[in-house]
């Protein structure tokens, strides 16, 4: 959308030349995740996917999630003098088989199994923190390490990054 008025600043919200797409940003993010994991000596699951958010964590994999576009700064019914820009909502989910599962007899996981799961989550969270450090401009960052469900555990990163060069 372009707003025309004499003497007003350019308020064009159209894509700028060379602006990234959600898919190109997800592909760049995947490369960054792989580089950060390699640098930290963390082996990622072999399955790598790019998909829309949210995505069920149903197998060991690394998923780059695209959640859509958001205008920055937010417009509350009025334009300001600043030119708006588009920011992508992105995410990374690293899902693994958890060592913290009951045995075949239904006995609870041993404390050592619980700690192994915590170590795995901690290592994956450190990879995601390195990813955050590798992105030039980032907002609304959240890294989560929820408990395992159904024998799988996931560590997640969600954030927003502008389409004009953050990745």
Residue 8 contacts residue 78 (beta carbons within 8 Å): no
Q: What percent of the chain has pLDDT over 90?
A: 68
What is the DSSP code (8-state) at residue 78?
Answer: S
Distance CA 39, CA 25 (A): 21
What pLDDT was estimated at residue 18?
62
**pLDDT at residue 91 greater than cutoff 90:** yes
What is the pLDDT, as a whole number, of residue 78? Answer: 60
Sorted by where each begins, the domain ranges of the chain are 22-69+87-162
Cis peptide before 111 (omega within 30 of 0): no
**How far apart, in whole angstroms, are the C-alpha atoms of residue 12 and residue 31?**
31
Q: What is the pLDDT of residue 51?
A: 97
Provide the 10 A C-beta neighbour count for residue 86.
19
Predicted TM-score (pTM) of the model is 0.83
Q: State residue 82's pLDDT score.
A: 57
């Amino acid at each position: 959308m372009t707003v025309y008025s004499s003497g007003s600043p350019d308020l064009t919200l159209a894509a700028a030349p060379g602006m990234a797409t959600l898919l190109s940003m997800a592909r760049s993010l995947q490369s960054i995740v792989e580089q950060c994991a390699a640098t930290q000596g963390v082996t990622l699951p072999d399955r790598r996917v790019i998909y829309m958010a949210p995505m069920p964590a149903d197998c060991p994999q690394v998923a780059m999630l695209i959640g859509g576009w958001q205008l920055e700064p937010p417009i509350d019914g009025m334009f300001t003098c600043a030119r708006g820009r588009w920011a992508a909502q992105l995410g990374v989910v690293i899902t693994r088989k958890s060592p913290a599962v009951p045995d075949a007899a239904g006995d609870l996981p041993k404390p050592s199994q619980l700690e192994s799961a915590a170590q795995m989550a901690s290592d994956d969270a450190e990879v995601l923190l390195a990813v955050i450090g590798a992105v030039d401009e980032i907002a609304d960052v959240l890294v989560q390490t929820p408990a395992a469900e159904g024998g799988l555990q996931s560590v997640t990163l969600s954030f927003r990054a502008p389409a004009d060069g953050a990745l």
